Chains A and B, each alone.
Chain A
Amino acid sequence: RKEVEQDPGPFNVPEGATVAFNCTYSNSASQSFFWYRQDCRKEPKLLMSVYSSGNEDGRFTAQLNRASQYISLLIRDSKLSDSATYLCVVYRTGNQFYFGTGTSLTVIP
C-alpha cells in the first residue's frame, strides 16, 4: 500500500467554484502534513502546512483528520492562476517525507 494516496483527477472547474481535494496516508505514526503546489515543468512549492486544528490561508483551507488518516485542501473562489498540480506530503520520524503523486486542477474561464 502506498504511503500517501491522492485522486489524480483531473479536476476541471469553472472560475469562482469551490473545489476540494483529499489525500489519505497509511501510517498512523505520521507527524507532519503539507500541501505543495507544482506548476507544469516547475518545482514544487510549499502551499501550506496542515495542523490538527485546521488552518486557513486566504481562499485555501487545510484540514487534518488523524482518526481517519486523511488530509483535505479546500480552494474557494477558484482563480485561473490556481491551475496546477497539488501534492500531498506526509512526514514521520526518520527524516522521511512521503509525497503523493498529485491531483491536477484546471480552472476554466
Chain B
Amino acid sequence: DAGITQSPRHKVTETGTPVTLRCHQTENHRYMYWYRQDPGHGLRLIHYSYGVKDTDKGEVSDGYSVSRSKTEDFLLTLESATSSQTSVYFCAISEDRGYGYTFGSGTRLTVV
C-alpha cells in the first residue's frame, strides 16, 4: 500500500558507522513503530511513537534512537552499527492503540 514507505530498501554499511532509516506515512496515523525481524525471534519492537516528539522504548531498544518531528515521518538511527544489527527492519502504523498495523515494505540492513 502506498500509505507507508520505507527508505532505503536495502543498505550495506560498515561496523561503527551511523545509519538512519526513514519511515514516511500519508495516512495521518498517530502511532508509528519500528520493528526488527530475525529468524527464530519473530518481530520485535524497537521503539514506537504516539505523536510528534512522543516516543518510547520497545523490547530491543539498545543501540537505537528515534525521532519524530512531523506526523508523517519516523526516523530510526543506529548510532554505531554492529553486526548484531543486521536484520530486516519494518516500520508500521496504526490509527489507534490496539488497532491492526499496516507495515512498510521493510529495509534489509547488512552490517559488515
Contacts and interface: CB of A to CB of B under 8 A. Distances in A.
Name the residue among B40, B45, B97, B106 with the largest chain A CB count within 10 angstroms: B97
B105 interface: yes
B50 A44 contact: no
* Interface class of chain A by DSSP: strand
On chain B, which size bracket covers the interface?
Answer: 20 to 34
A32 B43 contact: no
A43 B42 CA distance: 12
B105 A42 contact: yes
B41 interface: yes
Interface stretch (A11-19, A58-66, A96-104): A96-104
Interface string A23-44: 0000000011010000000111
A80 interface: no
